[in-house]
Each structure stands twice: as C-alpha cells, then as structure tokens.
Amino acid sequence: MYIWILFNTEAPYSHLPVKDSNVFNWTANYRWDSDVPHPYGYFMKYTPPLPVDGRKDYAKDKTKKVAWFVSNCNPRSNRTIYVNELAKHISIDVYGNCGKLQCSLTEKEKCLEMLKNDYKFYLSFENSHCVHYITEKFFTNALSYDVLPIVMGPNRDDYELVAPKNSFIHVDDFESPKKLADYLHMLDSNHRLYNEYFQWKGSGTIIQDTRFYCRLCAMLHDTERAPRHYEDFNKWWRGPGTCQSVTPRWIRMYNQHSEFPSISLKRVSAH
C-alpha cells in the first residue's frame, strides 16, 4: 500500500496550486490541523516551573530599539508598507536585502547575540498572513534570544496557541503604526512594563525540533490508523479563510477611521 503525503513548510501562495490534488492521503505542514503537524515551533510548559530570578532586567544595557532581519522586500503580506510607516515614529534598524545594514547569515549566531544584547524589540513579520503560519522569525530570532517580538501574521489566537502567555505584541492590537510606536516608546522608557513580557521565563521552553520524522514513522507503522483521502487538497490548503487579504488589516482600519487621505498600497516602496 502506498501513502501519498503532501509535505511543505511554506505558506500556500508561495507556489502554484497542487495538480492532481485528489491523490493525497495525508498532509504534513506547519498547520496544526494537518495529519502530521510540522510547526516551526511551540511553547511547552514545565511541570513544575523552574526557579528563576524575577529581578532580572531584560532591558539592561540595551541601547537600541527595533531590529528587523529581512530578505524578501515585496512579500504578499505587504509588511514593508507597515514598517515604512512605523519607521516614521520610531527608530528601526533593517538588516539584509531590504535595508542598509548587514549581518551575514554565515555568522547567524553572532547576529542573534547582537540582537539579544543591543535591541529591545524585533519585528517578527511573516511574508504571508495564513492560518498557523508562524515561522522561526518568532521562535528563534526573538523568544529564544530575550527580545520582545512584535508580530504580524495570523491572528492573535494562532500566536497564543504556540507562544508563552504575554510574550509578544501583535500589530492588530493597535489602530495604526503610530499608535504602536507610542506604546513601544513607553515600554522603552519603563523597564518594569517591558520586563512583564518576560515573566514566562522559567515556566517552560521553546520547542523547535518537533521530531517530525519519528512521528511520521510511527504513523506509517500504525496498522490501525484509518485510511484517509482528500477529494480536493487545494480547498483545504488554499480555500476561503486560510489566508488574509493582500491589503493589510491596519490599512483597512486606518482608511475607515482617519480624517486624512487614504493610504495607498502603491504609495510606499521598499527601501
């Protein structure tokens, strides 16, 4: 017997629809409702929690505000538009193809240590806003290196499914980039409030090795597992509700409530 498994780790619209989408038995990707979930990471609680020094100041000696490591300057999510607006109100250091600063991927550990030591905030902005699509930008670049992530991607509920409690800031909670910048300035000047986002430390750990192939092997050897067949894989993978509109949510909200001229998707270019 053959088991046809469609495996991928990228968002649906990063590639064309799957041909012959009715041949697959199982799905294996980052979505938690796939047959063999393969998320980029998740938070696992300790029982009981580990003792930690609650007096640690995670803002100590950090002299810079916001960093962003990015290589794709024109993603489907139009995240660059948001960053350009946000940068009008707070300092953002952009590393990689879309900015003026560089930190070589061949020395990734040094880049992440620099991020941990120098910056208070990190932009964990996904290239697509799709269900459960939360990548290593969130787990590795921010949570694992004591930087407070500002997230743009799926909705808050999806982040709360995999993240420690009160460990991130979601752009959807703010009416505009300026409102977000105002909040970040407040956290920057108030270490007590900033450190509240790190109270989860010691209560669990970030898991990024989900032992995917071991779990897959166990499933393949499970003779009691009922066979499954997808009549239309693309409907499940790319159907209505799986990904958000190209127009960023904050732009729609801003245009509906602002007394100023509407923001256009074509007005701001990547830099």
3-state DSSP assignment of residue 138: helix
Instruction: Specify whether 10 is catalytic.
Output: yes
Residue 100, token pair as written in the block: 């003026």
Using a 10 angstrom Cβ sphere, with 0-12 exposed, 13-18 middle and 19 or more buried, the burial of residue 264 is exposed
Picking from 47, 40, 71, the residue whose alpha carbon sits closest to that of residue 143 is 40
251: tokens are 């732009």
Strands 204-207 vs 42-45: parallel, antiparallel or unpaired: antiparallel
Which among 79, 92, 207 has a CA at the least distance from the CA of 143?
A: 207
Q: Cα–Cα distance between 191 and 203 in angstroms, integer?
A: 21
Among the options 10, 107, 136, 175, which is catalytic?
Answer: 10
CA dihedral 106, 110, 116, 119 (to 10 degrees): -80
What distance in Å separates the CA atoms of residue 262 and residue 248, rounded to the nearest whole number? 13
Alpha-carbon distance of 33 to 29, in angstroms, equals: 9
Inter-CA distances, 238 with 17, 151, 228, 232, Å: 8, 22, 19, 10
In the block, residue with structure tokens 């602002």? 258
Catalytic center residues: 10
